[in-house]
Structure 1
Amino acid sequence: MSTAAPRTAGPDHLWSVDEHLDDILATVRPLEPIELHLLDAQGCVLVEDVTVPVSLPPFDNSSMDGYAVRVADVAGASEQYPAALEVVGDVAAGQADLLHVGPGQAARIMTGAPLPPGAETVVPVEWTDGGLGEGPVTGMRAGSLDPGGATGQVRVHRPAEARAHVRAKGSDVKAGDRALAAGTVLGPPQISLLAAIGRGTVRVRPRPRVVVLSTGSELVQPDEELRSGQIYDSNSFALTAAARDAGAIAYRVGAVADDATTLRDTIEDQLVRADLMVTTGGVSVGAYDVVKEALSYAADEDEPGSGVEFRKLAMQPGKPQGFGSIGPDHTPLLALPGNPVSSYVSFELFVRPAIRTLMGLTDVHRPRARAKLTADRPLTSPRGRRQFLRARYTDGTVTPVGGAGSHLVAALAQADALIVVPEDAESVAPGTEVEVVLLG
């Protein structure tokens, strides 16, 4: 994986949301393609078109259990005057040596079995007496086929048009067709198609490996006892789940205490399995914001082009951000704020597009829409900052949920959208059309 060097700016520069995002996307590069077996390629992005080597289906075959016959032999057949045909044998799925169906004859055929030479159509077993008429025949009841051999006679009660209940060779895809285009994300249907055309491996960009690490001596893992001044570590769970939702293979690292040496050692240990590092907490101006201290080593003379820059963004929530690359492979690192809402909003705006870029996708952003604001009172927003408010989106309308506080996790759990309030707006009245980020 290669990354370009992030831009740098002075410590007093106030970055816009777009500047920060553009810098991330200009720095992160798609992962190198590899050849993977089909099930290992699930969720990955194809890097080349896949051409069909053999038509699907590869031969004319029956879509029903029934009898393969000639059209002329069943023309005019009815309940009162059934067509009596000689049963010359069975045709089963997978059968290579096919018998021939001549005038006045029928071959008992199973679903998926190839249409035998001479036959022009298939009559379902429900249109017959199941081979239970006169003559020495091993028969079948209507609606089912006995897998044993069949000879004797069958009576057909209905006519059939040419190629009725016949799946034509190439009716799904033809040899030489493009089965899947480069850029396709491989889900279960696409993997099914690849297997059906005989492809056991494909060339794809692998799913990026994302390591999520939270910081803070106050953090306790769920199921542990809370003591005075402690809170549960929710950020690492939220961001790991969000990374997986974005398409990554994500690893969660338990909260690291506010110690720069410990944090640095942990990050270095995790680089071996990371295409992208994400930290949360410790990026503002507090005395114990150790992420800055721990990552200051990254801009080492032995690692030209690396380093993490900590920035102030003109946004709310999520003003403090960090971005750069670390380690010998220049692994991208995004340092997010520690407040839960700030962390999650920052992930959606910056980390998710980075993950999708690593995957090799061209459309890396959440979809956006215009919606009518429904609210009890006008929305207020600090001038000069782009605000992202949690909301519910329904049929072209959007309603805020919870307040503006960046610690309100319960409100975040109710949201499926973000209202975008632009930098030049200090108030948005109910009924106004606003931009909305749809969170899926």
Structure 2
Amino acid sequence: MLSLDEALARLAAGASAARIAEVETVSTFDALGRVLAADVTSAIDVPPADNTSMDGYALRAADAATPDAVLPVVQRIAAGHVGEPLAPGSAARIFTGAPIPPGADAVVMQELVDAVDGGGIRVREAPRPGQWIRRRGEDVHAGAAVLAAGTRMTPQALGLAATVGAATLVVVRRARVALFSTGDELIMPGAVAPPDLPPGAIYNSNRYTLRGLLQATGCEVSDLGIVPDRLDATRDALREAARAHDLILTSGGVSVGEEDHIRPAVAAEGRVELWQVAMKPGKPLAFGAVRRRAGDARRGEALFLGLPGNPVSSFVTFVLAVRTVLNALQGADTALPAALPMIAGFDWPKPDRRREFLRVRLGGDGRLELFGNQSSGVLTSVVWADGIVDNPPGQAIRAGDRVRYLPLSTLVNG
């Protein structure tokens, strides 16, 4: 079995070689989750002029160098308006975001002044030059690349693009993913009422989980349903999925049983690059590609990822492996988020020989709590958890030990 690091490196390399070349221009309003295909460069300084970060009074610091200096207020400057040059020995009423008038070099917050007769102010504390002034270009200089190609657009990145006036963005086309499940035991919710569920049958939770994860990462998803446990049916599904998709994602059928047809079907229709990874949960993970046929609209091949059928295994391999492939396809960063050092509030005395991913959540005492049942079939564990502990092979854990914590929020959204 490959180590997880080796497997992720091969996944990233394979997907990078098939990187999506098509780009499109979209409104910045609609670019959440999209991956930039070109740098966003600012044509302006941000802020475009020195401005105040406080409501107060703009003045010359030298005019209020001694406490209780009294100055007349000669003008009022609101945000969006430009004041007149400030005469020596005077002050301007100014509001947050308004440009500093020529001649002023400090702002005194309104809480530190008293009104005096005749419309003037008494300054109780002597200001420092530059006090409460945001300088032109202190955030962004004109000509600077504020967002690099390969950046996945977060809400804060959208705000930064808008700050420099980018109304549209050039982004990579969304990844097109075909999704199907294998297993004669699978039944869709709604097809059979729970009291009538036949012996041996289970509801297809993976179809919902994986589709949701794909949508959360901004993919175009084609749901091809449930494929019967037959080699011919699996090959047919792979050929259909390859025609117009960048990636084929399946769950189930990747182990070594007689009814596990995914691996031989992919080998017959393309190639299998890796199979089985030294991780728990999620050992049976297949990666390869499926050839497109001569009559297909697109040439070449579609990448393939086969996930385990157990629901926790499927979830964990998605947030680690599928995430890597989708990012590489779109030219985004493929590195896993940096793990946070946290304190375990639990014991894990019998570690596995494989690298383990334990479902945990942050407790009220600041320590990590462990879900009581770490079985790969217990989907409640990933709903209860807010993160996973990345535990090295053979590493026992005692309460109070420092562990590597990966918040699910950093993994689920790409």
- TM-score interval (norm. to shorter): 0.7 to 0.9
Greater mean deviation of Cα atoms: 50-59 or 320-329: 320-329
Q: Judge conservation of contact 1:391–1:419 (CA < 8 Å) in 2.
A: no
Q: 1:335, 1:264 → 2: CA distance?
A: 13
1:173 partnered with 2:163: no
| Secondary structure, counterpart of 2:288 in structure 1 | strand
The offset of 1:364, in angstroms, is: 2.9
Shift of the 250–71 alpha-carbon distance from structure 1 to 2, 3 Å rule, reads same
Question: In the alignment, which residue of structure 2 is the partner of 1:93?
Answer: 79
TM score, norm. by length of structure 1? 0.68
Q: Judge conservation of contact 2:113–2:123 (CA < 8 Å) in 1.
A: yes
Q: 1:372, 1:157 → 2: CA distance?
A: 54
Give the letter aligned to residue 167 of structure 2.
G
Q: Judge conservation of contact 1:345–1:388 (CA < 8 Å) in 2.
A: no
| Secondary structure, counterpart of 1:344 in structure 2 | helix
Q: Give per-residue Cα distances to partners, 1:95-136, cap 9 Å, x unaligned.
A: 25x423223444333322222233333333444455x733xx
Q: Judge conservation of contact 2:277–2:284 (CA < 8 Å) in 1.
A: no
Q: 2:144, 2:51 → 1: CA distance?
A: 21
Q: Judge conservation of contact 2:34–2:174 (CA < 8 Å) in 1.
A: yes
Q: 1:330, 1:309 → 2: CA distance?
A: 13
Question: In the alignment, which residue of structure 2 is the partner of 1:215?
Answer: 182
Q: Give per-residue Cα distances to partners, 1:18-65, cap 9 Å, x unaligned.
A: 775555333222322634432443334445554432212111222233
Q: 1:111, 1:380 → 2: CA distance?
A: 58
Shift of the 243–156 alpha-carbon distance from structure 1 to 2, 3 Å rule, reads same
Q: Judge conservation of contact 1:310–1:321 (CA < 8 Å) in 2.
A: no
1:133 partnered with 2:117: yes
Q: Judge conservation of contact 2:255–2:308 (CA < 8 Å) in 1.
A: yes
The offset of 1:166, in angstroms, is: 2.3
Q: Judge conservation of contact 1:17–1:313 (CA < 8 Å) in 2.
A: no
Task: Kindly report which structure 2 residues correspond to 1:280-291, keeping only aligned pairs within 5 A, or say none.
Answer: 280-284=251-255, 286=257, 288-289=259-260, 291=262
Shift of the 32–41 alpha-carbon distance from structure 1 to 2, 3 Å rule, reads farther
| Secondary structure, counterpart of 1:235 in structure 2 | helix
Question: In the alignment, which residue of structure 2 is the partner of 1:338?
Answer: 309
The offset of 1:243, in angstroms, is: 4.0
| Secondary structure, counterpart of 1:193 in structure 2 | helix
Question: In the alignment, which residue of structure 2 is the partner of 1:417?
Answer: 389
Q: Is there any run of 5+ residues in structure 2 with no aligned partner, and where?
A: 293-298, 409-414
Q: 2:154, 2:251 → 1: CA distance?
A: 31
Q: 1:399, 1:60 → 2: CA distance?
A: 52
Q: 2:305, 2:238 → 1: CA distance?
A: 12
The offset of 1:332, in angstroms, is: 0.8
Structure possessing the higher radius of gyration over alpha carbons = 1
| Secondary structure, counterpart of 2:181 in structure 1 | strand
1:239 partnered with 2:210: yes
Question: In the alignment, which residue of structure 1 is the partner of 2:121?
Answer: 155
Q: 1:396, 1:309 → 2: CA distance?
A: 42
Shift of the 191–434 alpha-carbon distance from structure 1 to 2, 3 Å rule, reads closer
Q: Judge conservation of contact 1:62–1:122 (CA < 8 Å) in 2.
A: yes
Q: 2:391, 2:67 → 1: CA distance?
A: 68
Question: In the alignment, which residue of structure 2 is the partner of 1:8?
Answer: none
Question: In the alignment, which residue of structure 2 is the partner of 1:118?
Answer: 103
1:43 partnered with 2:33: yes
Q: 2:32, 2:135 → 1: CA distance?
A: 30
| Secondary structure, counterpart of 1:239 in structure 2 | helix
Q: 2:50, 2:273 → 1: CA distance?
A: 65
Q: 1:74, 1:310 → 2: CA distance?
A: 74
Aligned counterpart in structure 2 of residue 190 of structure 1, from 154, 157, 168: 157
Give the letter aligned to residue 94 of structure 1.
G
Shift of the 377–205 alpha-carbon distance from structure 1 to 2, 3 Å rule, reads same
The offset of 1:366, in angstroms, is: 5.7
Q: Judge conservation of contact 1:240–1:250 (CA < 8 Å) in 2.
A: no
The offset of 1:279, in angstroms, is: 0.7
Question: In the alignment, which residue of structure 1 is the partner of 2:412?
Answer: none
Task: Kindly report which structure 2 residues correspond to 1:389-428, keeping only aligned pairs within 5 A, or say none.
Answer: 390=358, 392=360, 402=373, 406-411=376-381, 416-421=388-393
1:103 partnered with 2:73: no
Q: 1:51, 1:325 → 2: CA distance?
A: 37
Greater mean deviation of Cα atoms: 270-279 or 52-61: 270-279
1:25 partnered with 2:12: yes
Q: 1:312, 1:161 → 2: CA distance?
A: 66
The offset of 1:217, in angstroms, is: 3.3
Q: Give per-residue Cα distances to partners, 1:263-292, cap 9 Å, x unaligned.
A: 666666655773322011233455654546
Q: Judge conservation of contact 2:266–2:289 (CA < 8 Å) in 1.
A: no
Shift of the 190–297 alpha-carbon distance from structure 1 to 2, 3 Å rule, reads same
Q: 1:76, 1:430 → 2: CA distance?
A: 62
Shift of the 329–99 alpha-carbon distance from structure 1 to 2, 3 Å rule, reads same
Give the letter aligned to residue 155 of structure 1.
I
| Secondary structure, counterpart of 1:28 in structure 2 | helix
Aligned counterpart in structure 1 of residue 228 of structure 2, from 258, 261, 264: 258
Shift of the 19–223 alpha-carbon distance from structure 1 to 2, 3 Å rule, reads same
Q: 1:288, 1:354 → 2: CA distance?
A: 27
1:276 partnered with 2:276: no
Question: In the alignment, which residue of structure 2 is the partner of 1:53?
Answer: 43
Greater mean deviation of Cα atoms: 107-116 or 288-297: 288-297
Q: Is there any run of 5+ residues in structure 1 with no aligned partner, and where?
A: 1-13, 135-152, 299-306, 423-427
Give the letter aligned to residue 253 of structure 1.
D
Question: In the alignment, which residue of structure 1 is the partner of 2:325?
Answer: 354
Q: Judge conservation of contact 2:238–2:266 (CA < 8 Å) in 1.
A: no
